[in-house]
Amino acid sequence: MARFFDVHPHDPQPRAIAQAVKMIRDGGLIAYPTDSCYALGAQMGNKDALDRIRSIRHLDDKHHFTLVCRDFAQLGQFVNIGNDVFRSIKAVTPGSYTFILPATKEVPKRLLHPKKKTVGVRIPDNRVVQALLAELGEPLLSSTLLLPDEDEPLTVGWEIKERLDHQVDAVIDAGDCGAEPTTVVDFSSGVAEVVRRGMGDPSRFE
């Protein structure tokens, strides 16, 4: 049965955040709110949690997982990013965008796209996520909480707990959450390609 954390959206309780992060460090899989919609999150090197995310979402090995980062200093450890691309990303970050970029050797191979050797990265504009990342001290392995055969992601904490009670270890509820996934921009070729339209305005990359 999943643990349920009810936290304040702008001033999340440190004790609840610490307990959720301990569950992540102990191998747990959590559902948590972001500035776009709910996501599934786990520790970066956790193979079991990665398999559980694939199972919940029915994902194949070509799916781009995302490393949710606290800031650019952290993001720069895990992806190769040139000056022009950096400026483009910096202009909309933090925000509801995921960027696909060539991964560095710091990223576990199982997280990479098998052919492109790329990974998704993002810096969310959300205080609950920022509190989790500050406590964790490393990026959060993440994937949008979009269930198979459903067009829209889940957005309500108690509903997520009801539906995924035996598939995740914790649900963090911070009230209203966005109803769209992030906009995904693929920069792996050095040129922006919008591969998913979502919360972030895609027009600046088209």
170-185 tens-digit pLDDT: 999 998 787 899 999 9
**C-alpha to C-alpha distance for 144 and 32, rounded to whole angstroms:** 10
Return the pLDDT at 151: 86
- Of all helices (H) and strands (E), which one includes residue 6? strand 3-6
Q: Which pTM value belongs to this model?
A: 0.95
Neighbours of 189 (CB within 10 A): 11
Q: Is the pLDDT of residue 205 over 90?
A: yes
Contact between 178 and 186 (Cβ < 8 Å): no
Beta strands per DSSP E along 85-203 = 97-102, 118-122, 140-144, 170-173, 183-186, 193-196
Domain range 3-205, its CATH number among 3.90.870.10, 3.20.20.70, 3.40.630.30, 3.90.1280.10: 3.90.870.10
Contact between 2 and 171 (Cβ < 8 Å): yes
pLDDT of 56-87, one tens digit each?
999 988 888 999 999 999 999 999 999 999 99
Contact between 94 and 35 (Cβ < 8 Å): yes
Cis peptide before 94 (omega within 30 of 0): yes
Neighbours of 173 (CB within 10 A): 21
